[in-house]
Amino acid sequence: MKTGKLVNYVATFVLVLLVGVFVWKITRLLRSNGERVDELSFITAPALKQALDQHQGLIVLDVRPRAEYAAGHIPVAKNIPYDELEVRAPNELQQDVRIVTYCRCQDDTRSDMARQLLNSLGFKGAVFLKGGIGQWENEQYATARTELRSPATKQATQ
């Protein structure tokens, strides 16, 4: 009987220890995901508008294709389509300035992917505009349109 009790105590101890380690690991995992959000992975349209009005030195980056950008964008936005971002960002963007990416997708997938890519390239603190250009327009903030010009036309006029 004494051996049976000892086995029970050891088994209980091991089980409690395993549950404790499991809970600790889950807590760390949840905390790390929470920290990403706490680090502000996104900004809202009103917060971006306020930051721009206060001249807080942001780069607003539209990661949509050129035609979508030309059809309507945030007035101060620079356009680098997502599929060109990895090559162009190191040459065209400042690493020490906070960058806000945006697109027009329902779930912010492309703008968040752009944010993550920029962060991996050394542009720390990049965030995406929650709701993208659609949310900006819903807030009735100003947008701009530009003439869509091909890269060849741009080179000829420079």
CA distances from 111 to 51, 55, 121, 133, 157 (A): 19, 22, 15, 10, 31
For residue 27, count other CB atoms closer than 10 A to its CB: 10
DSSP the chain: -HHHHHHHHHHHHHHHHHHHHHHHHHHHHHHHHHHHHHT-SEE-HHHHHHHHHTT---EEEE-S-HHHHHHSB-TT-EE--HHHHHHHHHHHS-TTS-EEEE---TT-HHHHHHHHHHHHTT-TT-EEETTHHHHHHHTT---B------HHHHHHH-
pLDDT tens-digit profile of 73-89?
Answer: 999 999 999 999 999 99
CB 118 within 8 A of CB 89: yes
What CATH architecture does domain 42-148 belong to? 3-Layer(aba) Sandwich (3.40)
Query: What per-residue confidence (pLDDT) applies to 4?
Result: 73
- pTM equals 0.71
Task: Give per-residue pLDDT as tens, 89-136.
Answer: 999 999 999 999 999 988 899 999 999 999 999 998 899 999 999 999
Query: Is it the case that residue 33 has pLDDT exceeding 50?
Result: no
Sequence spans of domains, the chain: 1-39, 42-148
Average pLDDT in the chain: 84
- Residue 37: pLDDT band with limits 50, 70, 90: very low
